[in-house]
Amino acid sequence: MGTLFGKRGHDWTKMLGSGKLFTENCMKGIEEEVIKSNSHTVMQFDRERFCFLVQETVHHSDGRPTTHYNVDLQNLTCECGRFQTFHVPCSHVIAACSSIRQDYSVYIADVFKVVNVFKVYEESFIGIPTETSWPQYEGDTLFHNDRMRRNKKGRPNSCRIRTEMDNAEKEKRRCGICREIGHMRRKCPTRPGPST
């Protein structure tokens, strides 16, 4: 973990110095959505509530038929659901923003900013000291409960709640030949012997 954080911290320091605002993965996804948005048409626009009706005109590779979607920039929603799920503008939001000449990047969540990702890896791990230099522990000692351990082999224990049906007396077993109680087939007195 310490090695990983050291490497990632070094990588994101270089990324921060490059002057990029958003992460590469975020910008790659945005570029794909911008290409899709070029084929959309904004049908309606409510200037007071910033609501749009965006019509798709080209079938895309995801298998959906072309249809229209309502985009609400005030409440940050699009009927396709991707805008709310990924917190990155979908192609419908980008088309709506371009129709009113607004920068769509204001709708990208702060979590995709290089500055915020850098903060994750900013701190580094200190090496764990040797066990001889650890301070003496003066707290409770915990032990595991063997009864809570799951049995690895054998038939599982039944956890079914038993009812009066389960407590009914079992009928005594009878012999398969003479149907009498008290013995089984191999010890039946009426069993025919070996042929002579």
Mean pLDDT in residue range 134-146:
88
How is the chain classified by DSSP, letter by letter?
A: -HHHHHHHHHHHHHHHHTT-SB-HHHHHHHHHHHHHHTTEEEEEEETTTTEEEEEE-S--TT-PPP-EEEEETTTTEETTSHHHHHSS--HHHHHHHHHTT--GGGGS-GGGBHHHHHHHSSS-PPPPPPGGGSPPP-SPPP---GGGSPP-SSPPPP-PPP-TTTTSPPPPPB-TTT--BS--GGG-TTS-----
Q: How far is CA 63 from CA 58, 60, 66, in A?
A: 11, 7, 9
pLDDT at 196: 44
Residue 59 and residue 66 in contact, taking contact as beta carbons nearer than 8 Å: yes
Confidence band (pLDDT; 50, 70, 90) for 152?
confident
Q: What is the pLDDT of residues 59-77, one digit of tens each?
A: 766 666 678 899 999 999 9
pTM of structure: 0.60
Q: Which sequence spans correspond to the domains of the chain?
A: 1-22+110-125, 36-107
Structure tokens at 158: 């039944």
Q: What is the pLDDT of residues 178-188, one digit of tens each?
A: 888 888 888 88
Residue 44 and residue 52 in contact, taking contact as beta carbons nearer than 8 Å: yes
Task: Give percent of the chain with pLDDT exceeding 90.
Answer: 33
Structure tokens at 59: 């079938």
